[in-house]
Amino acid sequence: MYNLYASKDDNLLLQTIEENKAELNSIIKAINDEEKSNSAIEEINHKQEVITNLVSAWPSMTIKEKQQALRICIDRIVLNNNEVNIEYTFN
């Protein structure tokens, strides 16, 4: 189709095609970025839901269940002089 409308001396159609390709690539990148953002938001919402459920279940949990929940949530605890830093697994 390009050959039908383009002449050897006129690159306007070819330039238009290249501009459209660039715009399409930009749109594809924006869609991919939005999908990544939505995935992150869904993951955050899921973690908030799990934490909310854990808070409501905490009073009825056994000591062993509480320990297991803490082991899942906490990556490590760092002690520096009088300071305690808790590093969570879901940061």
Run means of pLDDT, 10 residues per run, the chain, 91 residues: 59 84 95 90 87 92 93 92 90 64
**Taking a C-beta distance cutoff of 8 angstroms, is the pair 17, 6 a contact?**
no
Inter-residue contact 43 to 91 (CB < 8 Å): no
| DSSP-derived 3-state class of residue 86 | strand
CA dist., res. 3 & res. 18, Å (int): 15
Q: What are the residue boundaries of the structural domains of the chain, listed by start?
A: 1-60, 61-91
pTM score, whole prediction: 0.48
pLDDT at 36: 87
Q: Which residue has the tokens 């009825």?
A: 60
